[in-house]
Structure 1
């Protein structure tokens, strides 16, 4: 049994020791708030950088041994030492050969990494107003709505999300929806240095379960909805829900969609947290922010909230929910209606109901959307169906190495709403694309479908079949400009593919 202990550094000590990121920091300062045991070596030393990837180690760095799904960082401790690491932080015992190496034993490595990363970068979330959005669908759209409105209100905004990260107008490449805690704290720090006052971010269930946002202080957390997704990772729906709910344990204010089946569960659980401020939004049920007098048009939506009229550039009923969540959050932070109204009219979300056919001389519409869950596909198809004067043609598939149960449901939803469903590849990863397609087809009870493994050929067919008044929607890829196959990642941008097909 290890006897873990915590060292807490006072504000006076912290100021005198000049804590900062991107430079040397005393090891004891880095361990502030961490429970640990010293297995060997001295704590009286300075650290250049924290790393959890041994390939990035430089002289004087600390290496944190994280346990991944495929790789265990403990196996690379010696490599890290060989490259110059002077401190090894580990959950399990490690044996390393080297001079003057400090070994620190901890529990829950990902939480510890998050704590040390926040220490290293000077706790940047305390200097930002952080708004987190979680849910199965709507996260990306909601953060772009928030960004647009806050910019209209005159603030410089940071954004963390699926499509990209932003520091003001500067676009920063996004590797995953929520970065690992070390990269995330660096990103927050850069936002603070650039003068950002707010950060709006998608908070995925993975990031919550894997403690990437552990220790982050959220002003508000927004719950959009909860439907089947990521059960390959979470294993059960309860686990999925519990991961999502962690956001509201870390938010001062919980903003909840109570029209969603799980909204009342979030509401009731949030009420159990002492001092939690709770705000609800809806279309159907009574709530704090309820949309009424709704008008759905082809290219936008009109509705009234608590006596104020709003007009959003985003079409579809499901986007009213995304907009309501943003309105509720920003009103709780004191943002005026005039800025909300201006921001809503200017929202653009790449790969979400994105119209790309207008630049070609064609008599039909082409839409790209990221919908990749049954609920997401249902939302976009129902929205487009309402404005389709002839046929709705849907091109979509399902990702490989992920939850297989939703495949048949995707088949059923697409074939029931679209006039023609062309089932094809998405990101097959390590699976046989045709086996995935066959599992999608198992859910189809009608005959209005075709199956084409090659996604380029599927798009070609859809465009060749399209007639005046048709709408062709390519779902599942959205903003992505790649495809993941068993041969690796290949370039695959549907905008470029459509351009090549139509220009020929």
Structure 2
């Protein structure tokens, strides 16, 4: 593909050198550059791609995309493209380079603080049960038909995402569902994608280290529901039991379907029964309803089922197909996943890592167990510090015994993180209600040794 073709996708560029040159590949990692590639200088949170221009040129880059004026050796005939935002430029060029793959399948985006992963697995299973070839892009793994691949982040960088979507098209995928993080929206990872439907699960405090305020966080999520950049004909699927969802459905100009337990919702649940054997409810749309019995436990999973059902209804599937998809998904890895090793108590692993996520998790634990609830929990390092005391309070307040421990401290001292978690409860609870164990393996062992028959042990966060 010629550089001139790529440049047709972006505006306000300043070009030095020839545009009539063939571009072999695109790259944002200078170590991967080969002869004839276009290298995009991406300014990250830790490193800045502009610092690696010389390396990219020495490896044979034919074009360099930058955000600021730089002294770049042009003796090899390198073309320099200055763009207002190289992340956005990479996203648009990647979509062009791979032939706009999101337009060659039906792409569904799911955003929100909690529930993205489970909702995506439910959507995938509904369409799989309906006989479609499916793809999934998410926090746990990516699926390309029957191929399963490990992942490093919730939403891939734009270049990797477009390459992945192209592989899906080549493998015959008809419907793909993707978790869309707020970081991905702010950092243009999904720019260049065209969505069939976009779903909003909920919004509670998280990522305030990156977004600064809850309003900025909401603003990032809202981008998926604004304008025509992500597809002029896409439909919005929104949880109106969530306060931010009610705002969103008023503010978006997209055709919208609402879901919730609220009777006003387009797709709603009634006669809800939550038990240790799973959830049962009546799925209603307009004047029609169908009885649903799922393996998934906890009231929060009712909302995930509703979100997935609303997406499927909007895309033309009937109630029987949707019911089959909801009822045949046994579990989602790391999402209220029950671990059975012959023990006399219930053991659960769940990814909950926000105050609201911990609250929902412990409410679900109470719903499925009459015994004591013992939680092992920590907070990740180098992330939103303001949620730590809130998580500590919820975990101790809503459990019978809380063991605070390390959870991926990154560059921080685990003891400092736990100390901040305790800021939310100092002097309010007796010492026997909680303890501190820095070693996560030892903390889990202590919880298991403490559990009696009929109790429930839950390990929150990274598992």
Tell me the TM-score range normalised by the shorter chain.
over 0.9
What is the aligned counterpart of 2:282 among 278, 297, 304?
304
Quick one: distance in 2 between partners of 1:427 and 1:460?
18
Q: Closer, same or farther in 2 for the Cα pair 1:336/1:285, shift >3 Å?
A: closer
What is the aligned counterpart of 1:456 among 414, 423, 441?
441
What is the aligned counterpart of 1:232 among 209, 219, 240?
209
Question: Could you give the per-residue CA deviations for residues 364-397 of structure 1, whole angstroms, max 9, x where no partner exists?
Answer: 1111000010111111111111222221100001
| Structure 2 residue aligned with 1:74 | 50
Question: Could you give the per-residue CA deviations for residues 263-312 of structure 1, whole angstroms, max 9, x where no partner exists?
Answer: 11101111xx2xx2111111135111111011112131111122211111
| Structure 1 residue aligned with 2:312 | 330
Q: Closer, same or farther in 2 for the Cα pair 1:48/1:451, shift >3 Å?
A: same
Question: Could you give the per-residue CA deviations for residues 163-200 of structure 1, whole angstroms, max 9, x where no partner exists?
Answer: 01110110122110000000000000000000001110
Check conservation: 2:64, 2:81, Cα contact below 8 A.
Answer: yes
Quick one: distance in 2 between partners of 1:36 and 1:47?
20
Quick one: distance in 2 between partners of 1:208 and 1:89?
21
| Structure 2 residue aligned with 1:424 | 405
Quick one: distance in 1 between partners of 2:420 and 2:13?
51
Is residue 375 from structure 1 mapped to residue 356 from structure 2 by the alignment? yes
Is residue 158 from structure 1 mapped to residue 139 from structure 2 by the alignment? no
| Structure 2 residue aligned with 1:365 | 346
Quick one: distance in 1 between partners of 2:369 and 2:308?
29
Is residue 314 from structure 1 mapped to residue 299 from structure 2 by the alignment? no
What is the aligned counterpart of 1:354 among 312, 337, 343?
337
Quick one: distance in 2 between partners of 1:439 and 1:64?
39
Check conservation: 2:274, 2:368, Cα contact below 8 A.
Answer: no
Question: Could you give the per-residue CA deviations for residues 78-127 of structure 1, whole angstroms, max 9, x where no partner exists?
Answer: 11001110111111112222311111111111111111000100000111
User: Unmatched 5+ residue regions in structure 1?
Assistant: 1-24, 479-504
Check conservation: 2:282, 2:290, Cα contact below 8 A.
Answer: yes
Check conservation: 2:13, 2:84, Cα contact below 8 A.
Answer: no
Q: CA deviation at 1:38?
A: 4.6
| Structure 2 residue aligned with 1:483 | none
Q: Closer, same or farther in 2 for the Cα pair 1:211/1:36, shift >3 Å?
A: same
Q: Closer, same or farther in 2 for the Cα pair 1:373/1:37, shift >3 Å?
A: closer
Check conservation: 1:36, 1:104, Cα contact below 8 A.
Answer: no
Quick one: distance in 2 between partners of 1:258 and 1:468?
40
Question: Could you give the per-residue CA deviations for residues 482-501 of structure 1, whole angstroms, max 9, x where no partner exists?
Answer: xxxxxxxxxxxxxxxxxxxx
| Structure 2 residue aligned with 1:83 | 59
Is residue 262 from structure 1 mapped to residue 244 from structure 2 by the alignment? yes
Check conservation: 2:298, 2:367, Cα contact below 8 A.
Answer: no
| Structure 2 residue aligned with 1:51 | 27
Quick one: distance in 2 between partners of 1:311 and 1:29?
52
Aligned length: 448
What is the aligned counterpart of 1:437 among 411, 415, 418?
418
User: Unmatched 5+ residue regions in structure 2?
Assistant: none
| Structure 1 residue aligned with 2:450 | 465
Check conservation: 1:77, 1:94, Cα contact below 8 A.
Answer: no
Is residue 31 from structure 1 mapped to residue 7 from structure 2 by the alignment? yes
Is residue 294 from structure 1 mapped to residue 265 from structure 2 by the alignment? no
Quick one: distance in 2 between partners of 1:36 and 1:268?
33
Check conservation: 2:275, 2:367, Cα contact below 8 A.
Answer: no
| Structure 1 residue aligned with 2:95 | 118
Q: CA deviation at 1:51?
A: 0.6
Is residue 177 from structure 1 mapped to residue 154 from structure 2 by the alignment? yes
Query: How does the TM-score come out when normalised to structure 2?
Result: 0.95
Quick one: distance in 2 between partners of 1:96 and 1:456?
51
Q: CA deviation at 1:215?
A: 2.2
Quick one: distance in 2 between partners of 1:253 and 1:245?
14
Query: How does the TM-score come out when normalised to structure 1?
Result: 0.87
> Which portions of structure 1, spanning 4 or more consecutive aligned residues, are displaced by more than 2 angstroms?
36-40
RMSD: 1.1
Quick one: distance in 1 between partners of 2:445 and 2:82?
57
Quick one: distance in 1 between partners of 2:192 and 2:62?
26
Quick one: distance in 2 between partners of 1:214 and 1:425?
36
Give the match's secondary structure for 2:110.
strand
